[in-house]
Amino acid sequence: MTEIKILKTSSELQQAIQILTQAECIGLDTETTGLDPYTSKLRLIQIATAKEAFIIDLFHTPQLAKELKSLLLAEKPIKILHNAKFDLKMLKHHLGLEVNSIFDTILASKLISGGREGESHSLAKTVTRFLGIEIDKSEQTSNWAENNLSESQIEYAAQDALIVCKLYQAQLLKLCDLGLLETAELEFDCVSAIANMELAGMLLDKKRWQEIVKETETKHLRVATELRQALEPVDEQMSLFGESTINLDSPSQVQEALRKLGIPLLDTRSSHLQHLAKEFPILEQLLEYRSLQKALSSYGLGILKFINPVTGRIHANFFQIGTPTGRLSCQEPNLQQIPHSANYRSCFVAAPGNQLIVADYSQIELRILADWACDDVLINAFNSGADLHCITASQMFGIALASVTPEHRSAAKQLNYGIIYGMGPQGLANRINRPLGEAERLIDRYFLTYSSVARWLEQAGRDALNNKQTRTRLGRLMYTESTETHELPQSAIIRLGKNMPIQGTSADISKYAMMLLYRSLAKTSARLINNVHDELVFEVAKDEAGEVAKIIEKEMVAAGQEFIHNVPVIVDLKISEAWLK
């Protein structure tokens, strides 16, 4: 029978620590009165071996928590947590405790799933999937602020710390079988950096943001009015006051109105509209309307509700394995999709006395591709230090490097990045507004120039089809086969085979950099405050900004060089008062 002991004295805790330090691994969990570290309280800390659980009730014996420091910092035993980021935030904010040597069962579950959709990674579902055990989670939402907890609550709290020890053994075997140990170690080492990024948050200039939203609303109203007036002659449904009542957000209504104006549209997707916009200016208006509409719905005043009442900052929620390729994703709010325009990004500022450092890997996915494909032409282009997009444009259009125009470079840039995502002739034609035949010729020239890239991409797509999986350079796994709930056509599998190894390796590099920088910047004032895939944003005291920038560049380059060997890794940095490049 499992023993559960609530620790009440220092001597009891020291006896427990002696038992815990002898274990290979220990389960670690917390119970809190809410989800936000800044507005909720930390109630319980549960630590367990596979056979016994020890609980500290911080409402009654808060002084015991500080005695856990050496145990939690030690390399052994391994600390097993489910969704470690949450517990680490609570322990760091409320008690100043850090945790080393982590194994996160939710991250392990996601890695093992290999991007398969439809699998839940909650603790209950994960335990059932790996151990065949059903656990009761009904007490999860009970009142943890009560002065005296029920026996059922205590048993529930202990259960979560106990069960992850068993889960660890099953998942560790599976990670070994799938060749995912290195990837798992990277993910576990990165948890602290992400937890502290969320704790740090970003500062938003509320007044400036409100001004921008007001300007956008005014512009949106003007464009909508002009668009309705342009469509009015063909709008059969007029209001009593003679105004057009067409719903500009209805694709079918807009398509029908445009058809009556003689504009041939198969659909109203933006890619299709862009292809015809120069010929039909009203389509440019429609695209502008949609852009403004998206800005208001995604980046309107709603973002202000995410400003934390305690810190005055926005603490977004980052999902560490947010996509099958391993990239982080973000919500509440999605700071990764704030528009790149200076208007919006200038609203995210440093606190008084601080500055922001924006560090961005330069063309990292193309560098990974050049290195992986061993394409001498692409490698030499990078090693020359010249502008890659200009070099590509020179080859694509058969012109001298000095004759490359901004339009040529833009087209080459679209293709350089597009081929990683499996872009075909029609996609390129739409993006650069050129005839389909010309787009086909440009792609042919591209692959003639970068022939090893062509061979690598073809092989990667074929491997994804044949092996029903694809991997990053580190070994991160993504399955590429259809399931009962998710049908993958052959063309989609080929695209995944080309893109996932590149994008996933880029994600691995960014996570490796975050891990290195969390350690290297520990004794400085610098804090990581945002991740936008290849871009990291830091906040630092002004008098440290220059030295910290050097550390950031050094560690980010070092992280890239762990995965890229034949081309230089370049990091672009900018120090400013706001989130600007």
d(CA 221, CA 224): 5
Higher local confidence (pLDDT), 326 or 270: 326
Per-residue pLDDT tens for 452-466?
999 999 999 999 999
Please give the average per-residue pLDDT across 133-155, as a whole number. Answer: 91
Question: What pairs with residue 202 in β-bridges?
Answer: 314
Give this prediction's pTM: 0.92
DSSP 139: G
Please give the average per-residue pLDDT across 361-375, as a whole number. Answer: 96
- What pLDDT shows up at residue 256? 84
What 159-162 contacts at long range (C-beta under 8 Å, 24+ apart), as own/partner pairs, is 159/135, 160/27, 160/29, 160/46, 160/82, 160/123, 161/26, 161/27, 161/28, 161/29, 161/46, 161/47, 161/48, 161/53, 162/2, 162/27, 162/48, 162/50, 162/53
Please give the average per-residue pLDDT across 47-60, as a whole number. Answer: 96
Is it the case that residue 257 has pLDDT exceeding 80?
yes
Q: Model confidence at 234, in pLDDT bands (50, 70, 90)?
A: low
Higher local confidence (pLDDT), 60 or 248: 60
- What pLDDT shows up at residue 279? 79
Pair 346, 222: CB distance under 8 Å: no
For all residues of the chain together, what is the average pLDDT?
92
Is it the case that residue 324 has pLDDT exceeding 70?
yes
Please report the domains of the chain, with CATH numbers, ordered by start residue: 3-178 (3.30.420.10), 206-302 (1.20.1060.10), 316-364+507-576 (3.30.70.370), 366-474 (1.10.150)
- What pLDDT shows up at residue 233? 62
Backbone φ and ψ for 374, nearest 5 degrees, come out as: 55, 45
Pair 368, 507: CB distance under 8 Å: no
Per-residue pLDDT tens for 532-559?
999 999 999 999 999 999 999 999 999 9
Helix (H) or strand (E) holding 169: helix 151-177
| Pairing status of strand 477-479 against strand 469-471 | antiparallel
CA angle 51, 52, 54 (to 5 degrees): 155
DSSP 108: H
Pair 87, 93: CB distance under 8 Å: no
Higher local confidence (pLDDT), 189 or 2: 189
Pair 261, 234: CB distance under 8 Å: yes
Is it the case that residue 414 has pLDDT exceeding 70?
yes
Is it the case that residue 370 has pLDDT exceeding 70?
yes
Name the least confident of 30-44, 137-151, 179-193, 310-324.
137-151
Per-residue pLDDT tens for 57-105?
999 999 999 999 999 999 999 999 999 999 999 999 999 999 999 999 9
